[in-house]
Amino acid sequence: MRISPVRGNGRRYMWPAIVEVSPILDRSMDFEIPEKHLEITLPRPQGSVNRPQTWVRVFHIPTGISVFCDQERRQIENKEKALAILKSKLLAMSTTGYAYALAQGVELNKIQPQQIESLSKKLIREYILHPYQKVKDLRTKLETTAVTDVLEGEIDLFLKASIQQQRNSG
């Protein structure tokens, strides 16, 4: 949240951002996705020969997860990276689904994808950077003024509070 320097009415404006964290798979956790479950989109050749397009979009048909990658210089590397990100998202989704099922007492083979609530659509933290600095964890209600530390990845304070809250409620 910030106060707009253009408008002098003193109102605060909020710019939401989504930061998604996915685990990096090691080789022991690697798995294959059937080709029939994937839709891979590659760029069509354009008129300029000197500017090749190397982006890749991978769409997982059963879950509706789409991954776009254009970080690498070669298309094959972007495809490999997109598939790795997709696999990590699928793994995280299955882990979340497993934890959800256990908590609800549901049999795993009866879980439907629409029953698993997406964590990426929940607001987790609120960052206020102007006129004062504060970070508030919306799940645990914990607040801190160490905004720079949190933005640099120091979130142990919030993780410990979340674990403590889960222990107290469970």
User: 44: phi > 0 → left, psi -120 to 50 → alpha, else beta; which?
Assistant: beta
The CATH code belonging to domain 34-42+53-120 is: 3.30.160.20
Question: How confident is the model over 116-139, as a mean pLDDT?
Answer: 77
% residues pLDDT > 70 (the chain): 63
CA 49, CA 67: separation in Å to the nearest integer? 26
Give the pLDDT confidence score for residue 114 in this predicted structure: 54
Strand-pair partners of 39: 59
In the 8-state DSSP scheme, what is residue 37? G
Residue 68 has pLDDT above 80, yes or no: yes
Give the pLDDT band of residue 108 (cuts 50, 70, 90): very low
* pLDDT, tens only, 5-64: 666 666 777 777 766 767 677 777 777 888 998 999 998 776 666 667 899 999 988 888
Q: Which two tokens stand for residue 86?
A: 């997709």
Rg (CA), the chain: 21
Contact 70, 54 (CB under 8 A): yes
Q: Which two tokens stand for residue 12?
A: 């605060």
Residue 109 has pLDDT above 50, yes or no: no
Give the pLDDT band of residue 111 (cuts 50, 70, 90): very low
Q: Which of 105, 103, 104, 85 is nearest to 93 (CA)?
A: 85
Give the pLDDT confidence score for residue 134 in this predicted structure: 93
Q: Spell out the domain ranges in the chain.
A: 34-42+53-120, 123-170
Residue 148 has pLDDT above 50, yes or no: yes
- Report the mean per-residue pLDDT for the chain: 78
How many CB atoms within 10 Å of residue 150? 19
CA 56, CA 75: separation in Å to the nearest integer? 7
